[in-house]
Amino acid sequence: MKVKALNRTKASTTRATPSDLRPVHKNLNPASHPLPRAREYTRAITAAKLDRMFANPFVGELKGGHVDGVNCIGVCRTNLLPVVSGGVDGTVRIWDLQSRTMVKNLEAHSRCVSGVVFGHGGMFYSCGEEGLVKAWSCFPKQSAGDSSDEDSEGYAKKPSSVKRMETDEESPFGPFNTYRLPSVRSSHNSVAFHSIDHHWAISQFATASSDSAVHLWDPNRTSPVTSFSNLWGSDDTVTTVRYNPAESNLIAHCSNDRGIGLHDTRTASALAKTILGMKSNCLEWNPMEPYMFVVGNEDYNAYTFDMRKLKRPTSMYKGHVGAVMSVSWSPTGTEFVTGSYDKTIRIFNARKEGGTASHMGSSSTGIARDIYHTKRMQRVFCTAYTSDHKFILSGSDDTNLRLWKARSSEKIGQLSSREEASLQYRSALVQKYAHLPEVKRIAKSRRIPKLVKKQTAEAIVQKEKKRRKEGNVVKHSKPGTKSFTDERGKVVVKTVD
């Protein structure tokens, strides 16, 4: 008779030296893993809780800030670190994101800085409400011998062909050039600039001004190359102007007559215009799907439009209880951030599914994935994604620039492979059980300011009232004369060709 019994040795289950990893055993027999469903579900709840526990989106403020509200932020499209901001006090400040400190304070304008934008090679342009556009460089000027064109980095060089106009101020950061509209030179009530944007490929920038015109500028010339004035016969001020990232001759703008317009710079012809119920404050093209753009509106909502179909927005993004003042796409084009007059920042998934962290808030579009706020943050005037898609910058009325994580519970820094595996497992668990009420409730919970909460509740009541009223109108009018229109159908008042 042969007998074999289990002879377990200590060596197989323990490590030889303390520096070794502990051996891991697997038993695939399902009988040795009782209650698998209940345990997995409990793990999913814990994962959802942990995700909320680690949610700490505020990284910090940028030290030594403006002395008045921050009005605009410019983020470099080719380099991670340089950031510039323009304040209501007329100063432009250059920041270093890594150390979160100010590099330089430039007394740029005599009135509010209404826009800053990066050009090529570390150059940036600021426009002010006193009617001047100035060109700067975010890297200090090298000595004359160094500023050669074959700089390998590509951004630390100054455009050599720039003609120096004003030489009285010798700052290494500039201004290297000053641009103004020719007709109103040295006039007291000059035309104010409201927005500036640089072309994505070539050296050209566009400004929007209070004379209801859009001007295109060549950096080498002090007067505009082209001017589009009196667009669509409207005298209203153009507030925002943005170049399309892919279509090199397409410009979109928002104006004070509540309109959003597209025009082609080659033909100087207006392409299309749509007029919404209220004024749009900001407009941004999606960097990855360049036929889409998002506008932030005074009616507390943001809308995405397909530029081919301006009659209706493709989606609407609700939740703010104040006018949306700024909007910025993430470089991936899947989500965007909005800053609002209600003192909060919200992040929206722009896609229905497959967003980066769709399980974390709402998986559907239209409702914010996350809401950021602090006690001290006042009305938010400008927001920007950093080009690595990991951080968000916000500038607000309380003179501070704040740095936030784009995903609130993400760990900053490098993850070990075990950490990464564990995080992935947790997020997969939450996604698997996201439809169950307990997990959903935890994953969705956000603490929002009391006032915003109250106003949200009020907005729901108001919306319900409107819906009821519309229902009553349909019910009591002659059959066939009145019908329900969906919410998106009501956004656009009219379109103009």
Interface ranges with another protein (CB under 8 A):
1-10, 12-14, 22, 24-43, 46, 246-247, 249-250, 262, 264, 271-272, 290-291, 307-308, 310, 433, 436, 497
Closest C-alpha among 320, 294, 318, 434 to residue 372: 320
Reduce the DSSP state of residue 250 to 3 states and report it: strand
Indicate left, alpha or beta for 300 from its phi (over 0: left) and psi (-120 to 50: alpha): left
**Whole-number minimum distance, CB 54 to another protein, in Å?**
14
Q: Which is nearer to another protein, 184 or 434 (CB)?
A: 434
Q: Which is nearer to another protein, 159 or 313 (CB)?
A: 313
**Whole-number minimum distance, CB 201 to another protein, in Å?**
13
Q: Which is nearer to another protein, 216 or 345 (CB)?
A: 216
**Whole-number minimum distance, CB 493 to another protein, in Å?**
18
Closest C-alpha among 369, 455, 354 to residue 409: 369
Q: What per-residue string of b and e applies to 409-433 under the rule 16 or more CB within 10 Å gives b? A: bbeeeeeeeeeeeebeebbebbbeb
Q: Which is nearer to another protein, 329 or 433 (CB)?
A: 433
Closest C-alpha among 98, 86, 92, 115 to residue 62: 98
**Whole-number minimum distance, CB 194 to another protein, in Å?**
24
Integer Cα distance of 120 and 357 in angstroms: 33
Q: Which is nearer to another protein, 269 or 414 (CB)?
A: 269
**Whole-number minimum distance, CB 176 to another protein, in Å?**
33
Closest C-alpha among 109, 167, 115 to residue 141: 167
Q: Which is nearer to another protein, 42 or 462 (CB)?
A: 42
**Whole-number minimum distance, CB 44 to another protein, in Å?**
8
Closest C-alpha among 239, 165, 174 to residue 209: 239
Task: Locate the DSSP E strands across 48-183.
Answer: 58-61, 70-75, 82-87, 91-96, 101-107, 113-118, 123-128, 133-137, 177-179
Q: Which is nearer to another protein, 29 or 167 (CB)?
A: 29
**Whole-number minimum distance, CB 24 to another protein, in Å?**
5
Alpha-carbon torsion, ordered 466, 467, 471, 472, to 10 deg: -30
